[in-house]
Structure 1
Amino acid sequence: MKHRILASASVLAIVASPAYAQTVPAGTASQTTTPAPSSEEQAGLQDIIVTAQRTEQSAQKAPVAIAVVAPQELIRQNVTRAEDLSRVVPALVATASGGPNTSFFLRGVGNTTVNSYSDPAISFNYDGVYIGRPNSTQGFFYDLQRVEVLKGPQGTLYGRNATGGAINVLPRRPEIGVTSGEIQASYGNYNAVHAQGAVNLPIADSGAFRLAGTYDRHDGYYSDGTGDQKQYGARAQVLANLTPNLTTRVGVDYQHQGGVGSGSYIYGTFAYTGPTTGFVFTPTPQLGPKVGVADPRTEAFIQTRFIAQAGRNSEAINSYPSQNDSVWGATSETNWKTSAGTLTVQAAYRESQIAALSTTSNFRSFRQDEHAHQVTLETRFAGKIGTIADYLIGGFFFDENINNRSSINQITLTPFQNYITGTTSKAAFGRLALHVTDTLTLTGAGRYTDDVKRMNGLSNVFTLFCGAPTPPQDFCPNVPLMPLVFNANDLISFYTSRGVAFGPPGSRGPNTPTIFNTQIAINSKLITKKFTYRGALDWQFTPRNLVYVSYETGFHGGGFNFGRGLETYKPETISALTVGSKNRFFNNRLQLNIEGFYWKYKDQQISQFGTDFSSPPISVFYTSNIGSSTIKGIDVDGEFLLTPTTRIGGSVQYLKTSYDSYAFTSSLQSPTPPNFACPYTVTTQYNIDCSGKPALFSPKWSFNVNASQTIKLDGFKLVLEGGTRWRGDFYAATSYQPWVISKATFQSDASATLSPDSEWWSVTAFVNNIENKRRLTQSNTNGTLNTQSGLATAPRTFGVRLGARFK
């Protein structure tokens, strides 16, 4: 009972430290078993068992850079979507990117991918299965065993190679011989209702069934109703010990995301004032992070913006977002223990149907109709060579196919994209841990990957011009802007019926509107064959003190763009040196982990808005290889069990990033120089050089501080918890203008939980973001309206949560 009291009291967001005692249900592992802790160890801080190296081991004994988040902390911090993870992992910046998409950055490495013809730099894995699409990472955060965030390149053991790291979301698995159930439900401001529950049932003596579900909803965080949440999901699993040495588990899951989706707000305008003064920014304090784009105040403001290309003021955006997204999957994992080792085979199928309409000040509408399905198969064999070495060998197969129809209405420009794309990836990998002594281990690992990425599609782009696209200014006050239609035929009919002709810009003379049509076709294939590796040395010089050093390489494949002259980009590569130490002191009551890292990045990929090399140029969102960068820093995590009922802890990260080389080009036909706070030269194009700038979404300093106190009452207990997190300034867009800096701020939370000593029920009052600070998480430039818009964190939320369980 003492351990359960401590577990309930500990809700610290100590990302590299265990927040409570984590045990592994029967049938969850395919490799080694961790010995039970001694009575002395049980009296102090408890271990979380992780599988970051494909074997079970304590997080404190794993010589890898890993942050582990326990399920109680996910509940306390109200983590219900992928972007919420940034609240509990200081090294991670996650933000909604329009519709169902989520962008992840770890220590300055990541990308803002919002299309399906490029891949994320941070791999997202659910229940051991790589999830290929950033729009399919929602709906998993309930009834979890833990979340593991691996920091740095994952070039050896994980499904698809990733340069920045991996996020592993691991659900609780069925427990044989156990009948149990639990439920958590809360209600708060913004009409927030969050509920999740699970039931575990035995099947005879050698099987178990687990069913879990979730329902999450709240009203919009913006004045126009955007920024809401409406999602639900369910998961069912069956576990069977077919023989004493043969175990299999089958799981299926389904999640649906509806409602409006993420919103945005305008916070300023900019104008080019000449070669001396450059771009000048003017804030719009009347349109802060509470006022959404569809708010009448924003719509009225937008209509005052003059659009030089169209020769008239803007119309209202006059569209409203929606989402109707479904994701489901099935997986089968079989473990066969032999005298030589354990064979693990995991096969999975996943499918998504995305129907989302996003609106921001950048887009009148961004409509995605996408159907994707993927098949994965991974086989691993893990064994021992006496007491000398542990080894693991494996193979991986991934095949993904995507059918997408999109339209992106940018007020004066609309591309209609219709394409089929996909990836086939095959890999062989292995790991050998050589025990040089009882305490010293040398590890080598490698992976050979063969990726084939294919693309066959057409972007049919229509651009509105009033006369010639260059000064002197033409005026077309009555020309209609791009209509809210979702195919080329409807757009052609719209303008033809209004007497607007199609042809080159200016072909009908000044002050006369024309529609210019450009078609960009891609039918291509990218093949990448790469060997990546890891070498590490760890020394467990006492049972509670570990030091380690590792060097690892990784790569992230290339991809495609619908932009003339920008159709493809190359893979990026990264190498990472890590030196760390994990420690327990004072009879297992103080934990202190320190890690230093040094990363070198080559052919780095950056996704940004810009112009292509069509004539005239087209505004596109594209990915390109911009050069190289250096990333270095230190992580320190600590946790102290001051008394059996008092726990304090915290974490701090120092991060220094710099682009050693960041050079790219832009079309000289653009009416103004590029909107970047970077020097440029002019030849046959603009040559922009942002070398020396820091990486995006990479605050120099970040820290968390948390505490909990358990007050024992007569047959009851009251647990008081509180914490604060601070993230320094970071750039939220590639322009590096001062107005795209996300300013540093504190965000704090507190809660009080009453429960009986048996813990069969609990009631909690909570408040998150006490300061009510809505920090900028992403900044977007609208070159048509010359406005700057952003996405913001959630406002202050509070409520009451009830919980009950039986076993």
Structure 2
Amino acid sequence: MSKRLAALGTVSATALAFSTSAIAQDAASDAQPEASQPEALDDNTIIVTADRREQSLQDFAGTAFVVTGEELLQRGVQDFTDLQDEIPGLSVANNGGNVEVFIRGIGSSNNTELGDPAASFHFDGVNIPRPSGIGSAFYDIERVEVNVGPQGTLRGRNATAGSVNAISFKPGLGIWDAGLEAEYGNYNQRSLRGALNIPIGENVAVRFAGLYLAHDSYYNNVGPVQGIGVAEEVENFSGRAQILFKPTDRLTVVVAGDYISEGGTGYTGTNYALPLGEIADGNLQSLDQINDPRDVIARGITPDLNTDHWGIRSTITYETDDMTIEYIGSYRDAVYDYEATTPLSPNFPGVIDALSGGAGNPNADIILQESLDNFSRFRIISDSRSQFHELRLFNTEGPWIWSVGAQYINEKQFSFLGSTGDRTPFFSGIEFNTNTDSEAWAVYGDMTYSVTDRFRLTGGARVTKDKKERNGVAARYAIALGDGNFNCCLGVRVGTEGFEFAARDRTIINPDTDADGTISDQEVFDFYANGIAQFGDRDNLDEILNFGPFPGFFGTVPGRPDCLDTNFGDGLTCNGFEPSGQFTFGVPFQGQIFQQDGNYEDEFFDWRLRGEYDITDDHLVYALVSNGHKSGGFNDNLGDLGVAPTYETESVVLYELGSKNEFYIGDVRARLNGSIFYNDYSDQVFTSLLSVAQAVQFTNTFGGQTITLPDNTSQALIVSFSFNAADSEIYGAQIDGGFDLPANISLDFSALYLEAQIKKAEDIQDFRFQADVDAANAVFRSIEGRRLPRTPKWQLNAKLSQVFELPTGQLDYVISAGYRSSQFHTIFNSLEFDANGNASTVTDGRLLDKIDGYFTMDIGAGYTIDDAGKYRIEAYANNVTNSVNEAAIIITQFDNTRFFTRPRTYGVRVRARF
């Protein structure tokens, strides 16, 4: 929904895992069917389930990364977004509360109810279609796996980029144990984690785990109006309960439930349009002048986030002599509810003058006061209720290792986006109020055959049918107070203190309540009022509504009895009105309430082929080709029940050659893996903000559809629009390795070289401009040869860890460092164009979307007090260099809004095992 407003390595095996790795590993082993257990592995082995069976990461013929639960703690990782700089090729951004995951340049920024992630997210085997709040489930975690490349035959729907799988610890039979951890850090960070494993007889065990995490805001309100809270304050609660029932050696049943509550002030981002653009004194501000991007000039209300995400699931496995039968069923309800006003600007030299209309402006105080007293706000509600069902039959022992199954996913969404335009001319807000239903069915099969003891062939296929439909309403409100020519329209106040949207409680969806085929002005006003639960304390729009939809004369400005019509000569003292003898209340733009009725269906076929050969037991080579699809969809209806333009399904084909090797250099055990890859990316979908006029022009020219707008449709209305824009190619090389050095020192490293650009494309609309505001620049531009967003050419990571065995316990540390070269965040690559279409580096800073290269570093150290590992104290520092960088950038006609990675955080924690 934010688009409509403006997601390696291992630690020393001797390190203690949260709740103790011994408890968790025993529990995990007891919770799994015997047939799924890997062969005996040494303590340094990393386990991965990329092929949907447990195996050593070194034995997996493909690219995957694993971060253990202990690593998450050691580095101070709070949630999934903190892995942004930990794994090469992975980009994770919290874009206004929406978690966007890109893997090697493949992803999706369509985070509306009509879009789906391109990287499939799973928690304990369950597909999570909307991952809002799931970051607070990252406790009592065994590991997080990131599988690179299309996962169509393995993980299913919409997994062109890859998949992310979070795996929690399971209950353990015959184990009675508990762990508790407390933490305190800067920004007043407080956290408490706990886990309890209880055996009930010989065949039943339960496991409880919980988390409390809170910290103060990373933002600072440095503006003239204090007392307004700002973004990124957090208060989260989460709990998980699991019960394991194993009545026989063949049957295992796990039933789990979890609840997540995320509160605080959410994520507004910061709009850089003012410091990056031309301001009154003509100086172009530099990013270097902004010392802290989270120092902002706040206004309006304190942002308020309420996320409630809960679910239940069951996993039933039954072993026969020849195979294992597994059923996974889940129901999840994720409600994301966020209301906020955005800061006026980041802090920079001259910001107050800029907000006052320029130094020396005679009305500077009034202009500044009206800017600070602007209550233009937004509210987003996303309620996703999803079911996931999968029945799978598989065998994990050669020479035939196979898996066949069927999968069904159903998701029902309620989606609301409302905004108010306080003090703005001819604009009172927008509203999207819709219900969306989607279903996906799939059958699949995947098989690996050992041709010889060293040579294996794999083939897989999946057929998927995807369906999505939506109904509801979208509106742009334009209610003005002014004279007969609407010359003076800054007097409407809406959204001030106490204002509430009706949201779910709206009862009028179709404004044509008398069903006569036309929408009168009175029906427009009634429809608008039905969407407001309560007007604000200083709103005057409710008083204006009492005058009705007709010209009328009144002697005072509604809500301002001191502003008599005879006193308008004093200019801005009456909310900006010019002198006028009559006020007219009207709706100057008709056709701005659009009934939504869209649907899309598609079927696609995913496949993969792979060959792998063990040169020796420690040297593996492989070659693979795999195909994946991400379902297409439809856009908002253009006009009232007008056409909802569709976009086609994306397709990615990955070609990869790789080698995995373990060997000794003297007495030093070493690991070196490498791969080269090529992604053929077809029908790539971009999502941008376009006016209706731009969307119609693009669709009629390139979209394969002919659109005729219904009468009286406002072509200036801005919509989120997705379209097939290009065929791209993404290729490169990756290496990773490590050394087990003397003195219990481990050194791990990884490097990714990535090229990603548009190979072939039609010209597309420059969506950084609105046609009704800047028609000269809102034109079609070539994007061929442009580099894909979020694709640094070089991505490097290294990790050094060591363990000291002491007479009284154990001391260990880990240092993790990373580097990302420069990258872009839009397809226009920080270019602007002259009247002849010639491109050059931007001089209009608002168009700047390039992020310079940067380094990061995390450190952690711990001391285990006794040999039994019952007590431990740790210290950590995440982002030691305080390298705060943009994780996402949104550029529109009036915005250059940026969301940032976490600043430097540090703290201490203590653990106890009972």
CA deviation profile, 1:597-636 (whole Å, cap 9, x unmatched): 1101111112222322263322233322211110011121
Aligned counterpart for 2:37 among listed residues 33, 51, 75 = 33
> Which residue in the other structure is 1:591 paired with?
671
Cα distance, 1:340 vs. partner?
2.0
Report the structure, 1 or 2, having the larger strand content: 1
Tell me, in whole angstroms, the C-alpha distance in 1 between the residues paired with 2:429 and 2:251: 56
Question: Is 1:562 equivalent to 2:636 in the alignment?
Answer: yes
Aligned counterpart for 1:365 among listed residues 377, 395, 406 = 377
SS in structure 2 of the partner of residue 770 of structure 1: coil
Query: CA 1:714–1:30 in 2, change beyond 3 Å: closer, same or farther?
Result: closer
Alpha-carbon contact 1:272-1:672 (below 8 Å) kept:
no
Deviates more, 1:555-564 or 1:627-636: 555-564
CA deviation profile, 1:699-745 (whole Å, cap 9, x unmatched): 11111121122233322222132221111111123453252112211
> Which residue in the other structure is 1:574 paired with?
652
Aligned counterpart for 2:793 among listed residues 682, 686, 700 = 700
> Which residue in the other structure is 2:243 paired with?
238
Aligned counterpart for 1:639 among listed residues 738, 742, 754 = 738
- After superposition, residues 45-124 of structure 1 pair within 5 angstroms as 46-99=44-97, 101-124=98-121
Aligned counterpart for 1:537 among listed residues 590, 606, 611 = 611
Question: Is 1:750 equivalent to 2:843 in the alignment?
Answer: no
CA deviation profile, 1:480-508 (whole Å, cap 9, x unmatched): 366465352178995474489979xxxx9
Amino acid at match of 2:73: I
Cα distance, 1:674 vs. partner?
7.3
Amino acid at match of 1:649: D
> Which residue in the other structure is 1:229 paired with?
234
Tell me, in whole angstroms, the C-alpha distance in 1 between the residues paired with 2:776 and 2:153: 40
> Which residue in the other structure is 2:814 paired with?
721
SS in structure 1 of the partner of residue 31 of structure 2: coil
> Which residue in the other structure is 1:302 paired with?
none
> Which residue in the other structure is 2:764 paired with?
664
Cα distance, 1:466 vs. partner?
10
Alpha-carbon contact 1:91-1:653 (below 8 Å) kept:
yes
Alpha-carbon contact 1:222-1:263 (below 8 Å) kept:
no
Tell me, in whole angstroms, the C-alpha distance in 1 between the residues paired with 2:444 and 2:743: 44
Alpha-carbon contact 2:183-2:907 (below 8 Å) kept:
yes
- After superposition, residues 595-674 of structure 1 pair within 5 angstroms as 595-613=675-693, 615-662=714-761, 663-665=763-765, 669-673=771-775
CA deviation profile, 1:365-411 (whole Å, cap 9, x unmatched): 33123332111110110137x84322211000111111223213466
- After superposition, residues 381-460 of structure 1 pair within 5 angstroms as 381-383=393-395, 387-409=398-420, 412=427, 414-460=429-475
Q: After TM superposition, where is structure 1 displaced by more than 6 Å over at least 4 residues in a row?
A: 270-273, 464-468, 490-493, 499-503, 508-513
Amino acid at match of 2:416: R
Alpha-carbon contact 1:152-1:165 (below 8 Å) kept:
yes
Cα distance, 1:172 vs. partner?
0.5
Structure 2: gaps spanning 5 or more residues: 1-9, 222-229, 345-374, 503-527, 551-579, 694-712, 831-841, 843-847
Amino acid at match of 1:650: F
Query: CA 1:463–1:67 in 2, change beyond 3 Å: closer, same or farther?
Result: farther
Query: CA 1:727–1:466 in 2, change beyond 3 Å: closer, same or farther?
Result: farther
Amino acid at match of 1:573: S
Tell me, in whole angstroms, the C-alpha distance in 1 between the residues paired with 2:209 and 2:306: 22
Cα distance, 1:170 vs. partner?
0.7
Alpha-carbon contact 1:571-1:603 (below 8 Å) kept:
yes
SS in structure 2 of the partner of residue 72 of structure 1: helix
Tell me, in whole angstroms, the C-alpha distance in 1 between the residues paired with 2:30 and 2:271: 52
Cα distance, 1:414 vs. partner?
2.4
Aligned counterpart for 1:379 among listed residues 391, 394, 419 = 391
Deviates more, 1:741-750 or 1:420-429: 741-750
- After superposition, residues 200-349 of structure 1 pair within 5 angstroms as 200-224=197-221, 225-269=230-274, 282-283=285-286, 289-292=292-295, 295=296, 298-299=297-298, 317-349=299-331
TM-score normalized with structure 1 length: 0.85
Alpha-carbon contact 2:626-2:655 (below 8 Å) kept:
yes
Amino acid at match of 1:569: Y
Identity percentage of aligned residues = 28
SS in structure 1 of the partner of residue 174 of structure 2: coil
SS in structure 2 of the partner of residue 25 of structure 1: helix
Alpha-carbon contact 1:349-1:376 (below 8 Å) kept:
yes
Alpha-carbon contact 2:481-2:492 (below 8 Å) kept:
no
Query: CA 1:168–1:515 in 2, change beyond 3 Å: closer, same or farther?
Result: farther
SS in structure 2 of the partner of residue 115 of structure 1: coil
Cα distance, 1:763 vs. partner?
1.0
Cα distance, 1:361 vs. partner?
5.5
Query: CA 1:383–1:251 in 2, change beyond 3 Å: closer, same or farther?
Result: same
> Which residue in the other structure is 1:690 paired with?
783
Query: CA 1:118–1:290 in 2, change beyond 3 Å: closer, same or farther?
Result: same
Amino acid at match of 2:328: Q
Q: May I ask how many residue pairs the two structures share in their alignment?
A: 743
> Which residue in the other structure is 1:313 paired with?
none
CA deviation profile, 1:336-366 (whole Å, cap 9, x unmatched): 1112211001111111222212443599433
Query: CA 1:46–1:5 in 2, change beyond 3 Å: closer, same or farther?
Result: closer
Cα distance, 1:688 vs. partner?
2.5
Alpha-carbon contact 1:9-1:708 (below 8 Å) kept:
no
Alpha-carbon contact 1:267-1:288 (below 8 Å) kept:
no
Query: CA 1:358–1:659 in 2, change beyond 3 Å: closer, same or farther?
Result: farther
Tell me, in whole angstroms, the C-alpha distance in 2 between the residues paired with 1:463 and 1:53: 54
Tell me, in whole angstroms, the C-alpha distance in 2 between the residues paired with 1:668 and 1:769: 38
Amino acid at match of 1:95: A
> Which residue in the other structure is 2:709 paired with?
none
Tell me, in whole angstroms, the C-alpha distance in 2 between the residues paired with 1:91 and 1:762: 34
Query: CA 1:335–1:588 in 2, change beyond 3 Å: closer, same or farther?
Result: farther
Tell me, in whole angstroms, the C-alpha distance in 2 between the residues paired with 1:368 and 1:640: 49
Aligned residues: CA RMSD? 3.3
Tell me, in whole angstroms, the C-alpha distance in 1 between the residues paired with 2:201 and 2:895: 64
Query: CA 1:5–1:483 in 2, change beyond 3 Å: closer, same or farther?
Result: closer
Cα distance, 1:760 vs. partner?
1.6
Cα distance, 1:511 vs. partner?
12
> Which residue in the other structure is 1:803 paired with?
911
Tell me, in whole angstroms, the C-alpha distance in 2 between the residues paired with 1:104 and 1:156: 20
Alpha-carbon contact 1:116-1:133 (below 8 Å) kept:
no
Question: Is 1:770 equivalent to 2:857 in the alignment?
Answer: no
Query: CA 1:388–1:650 in 2, change beyond 3 Å: closer, same or farther?
Result: closer
Deviates more, 1:739-748 or 1:402-411: 402-411
Tell me, in whole angstroms, the C-alpha distance in 1 between the residues paired with 2:857 and 2:77: 15
Amino acid at match of 2:47: I
> Which residue in the other structure is 2:803 paired with?
710
Tell me, in whole angstroms, the C-alpha distance in 2 between the residues paired with 1:52 and 1:427: 19
Larger Rg: 2
Alpha-carbon contact 1:77-1:88 (below 8 Å) kept:
no
Tell me, in whole angstroms, the C-alpha distance in 1 between the residues paired with 2:609 and 2:689: 38
Tell me, in whole angstroms, the C-alpha distance in 2 between the residues paired with 1:174 and 1:527: 41
Query: CA 1:478–1:448 in 2, change beyond 3 Å: closer, same or farther?
Result: closer
Query: CA 1:30–1:122 in 2, change beyond 3 Å: closer, same or farther?
Result: farther
Tell me, in whole angstroms, the C-alpha distance in 2 between the residues paired with 1:182 and 1:788: 46
Deviates more, 1:83-92 or 1:628-637: 83-92
Tell me, in whole angstroms, the C-alpha distance in 2 between the residues paired with 1:691 and 1:106: 21
SS in structure 2 of the partner of residue 774 of structure 1: coil
